[in-house]
Amino acid sequence: MSDLSIHPRMPLSPEDIALLGKNKRPMKGAMIAMIVLAAPWLAVIPISFFGGNFDLGIAGFIPLTTLGGMAAIFTVLNGQLKRDLEEGMKVYFSGTVERKRFLHGKGGIYYYLEVCGKEYRVERGFYELVNESESVRLEIAPYSRHVLSVSKA
């Protein structure tokens, strides 16, 4: 189940579009926070350049590469959501819930269902709807792999 291009597609509903749009807001907030955190470190480069000291050392290198990596991740994730919204299609398939699990994180509790050998993060309501070994139908956004709907098959 690694290639979603082989599964049937159907248009996104207005509810799906609203759900995907809602998921873009936290990403924009995280990007703004990252830029604010990066500003002091980005100031080091011109100061070092014009001061004649080109050696930023490890103290300058690690934060800059970390922030650059975070920027790349946020850009890719935002691009996937944007592509889902532009294409306006979702993928659906059926399978058996092989495993359910949840994790406690800084942002709350995250719920996961494993279907067809792939783990999907789902909302709590979807998680509580199904049990392990039950047949389900999932509707997901093909590029971001955001789960839009889970129902018993």
Enumerate the domain spans of the chain: 9-87, 89-152
Residue 56 DSSP one-character state: -
Q: Over its length of 153 residues, how does the chain's per-residue pLDDT go in tens digits? A: 445 556 789 999 999 888 887 766 555 666 666 666 666 666 665 555 555 555 555 555 666 666 667 666 666 667 888 888 889 999 999 999 999 999 998 878 999 999 989 999 999 999 999 999 999 999 999 988 899 999 998
* Positive or negative: CA dihedral 81, 87, 88, 90: negative
CATH of domain 89-152: 2.40.50
Contact of 142 with 82, CB cutoff 8 Å: no
